[in-house]
Amino acid sequence: MRYPAIGKAIVCLIAIAIMNIPAHAARIKDIAFVEGIRDNQLIGYGLVVGLDRTGDSVVGGQFTAQAIMSMLNTMGINLKVDPIQLLTRNTASVMVTAKLPPFARPGMKLDVQVSSLANAKSLKGGTLLLTPLKAANQKVYAVAQGPISTAGFEAGAAGTTVVKNQQSGGIIPGGAIVERAVDLKIETWDQFSLAIQQADFTTSLRVAEAINAHLGPDIAEPVSSGQVVVHVPDSYRGKVVQLIAAIEGLDIDVDVRAKVVINERTGTIVMGEHVRLSSMAISHGNLTVKITTTFNVSQPEAPGLIGSAAGQTVVTPEVEANVEEEPGRVIQVDRTVTLGELVKALNSVGVTPRDLVAVLTAAKAAGALQADLEMI
């Protein structure tokens, strides 16, 4: 059974909902973050064992041998040998890195990145031994251990080798366990700051206005283009989590500077919606130089008399150069109002993306491009 009336009503409701959504709205949680709530970098030095003779060699791996000797001494094994003799190419020195998320609690598992430190060829099949991970304050916040997963392979023999990706690094999913938590008691905050990821005065003001409209006047105050201070109201005392959750879901209109980003190596051009062109005239044409080389063979005549010298066959190159220039034309581009009109005006000139780089650069130099031009 079909219900055409219900279907039409649902379509109308969806249309109304779409019409009520701002065209360029973004959530506050996507454009800003709370200062003090961030990740922390962890790093540690460790040993990878179980390699198939692809670990560190004697040349360049001296500290790996010393690390092996130190580890054995810690375990109560005292050897009276040269540390270099312990280097069997089955061990590699690595650096282990991870990110400690905010509010991480002891027992939480983290993904770790393992990277070769010396001259190991591959970490495939290796196992990372217990490695403490420290923060910048030299305190241990996690320990890592486990088998390494590499994303490449190498196969071949007799001088023919197939290699995909590099194997001197890998990851251990959930390979680290958090041992220490970062104390951050947000329930005692009287105020906090929102940091705008792309600093802009208009965006900062709109964030404060949206928060005040939702929670009440004088709750949020913009102090700069990249910071908005939020005062915790009495109704949210001790409930900062609920307050942040209520704020980060608000939609605002994000305002950014007009910018044109150009990658001349690939011919990629990205323009923002606020890019404008002033009235100007553009003349564009291509100049093509063709150089053609023809090789002619000069064959000497056969010797007519006995004992006469024979000639030599030689190749004589003949070079021809031609210059072709497209007929130039001057096109007037009127002042544009929207990005679509700008694209239409530039397409009317008939330029390719790589030629458009030169056109936009010249337009910026002439003062006709009302945007920041950034080359990457």
In this predicted structure, the answer to whether residue 19 has a pLDDT above a threshold of 50 is no
* Nearest alpha-carbon partner for 346 in 269, 259, 288, 274: 269
Gap between the Cα atoms of 150 and 145, Å rounded? 15
Reference 365, options 282, 307, 305; nearest CA is 282
What letter would DSSP give residue 217? T
**Range(s) of the chain covered by CATH 3.30.1360:** 186-253
**DSSP E strand boundaries for 248-334:** 251-253, 259-263, 268-271, 276-277, 280-283, 287-298, 314-325, 330-333
DSSP 262: E
In the predicted structure, residue 279 carries a pLDDT above the cut 80: no
Query: What is the mean pLDDT of the segment spanning 109-126?
Result: 92
CATH entry, 186-253, from 3.40.140, 1.10.238, 1.10.287, 3.30.1360? 3.30.1360
Note whether 191 and 231 are within 8 A (CB).
yes
Contact call for residues 115 and 94 (beta carbons, < 8 A): yes
Percent of the chain with pLDDT over 70: 74
Helix spans in 275-352 (H): 339-348
The answer to whether 140 and 182 are in contact (CB under 8 A) is no
Whole-number Å distance between alpha carbons of 206 and 225:
11
60 pLDDT higher than 80: no
Percent of the chain whose predicted confidence (pLDDT) is above 90: 39
Percent helix / strand / coil, the chain, rounded to 5 = 25, 35, 40
Question: 165 or 235: which carries more pLDDT confidence?
Answer: 235
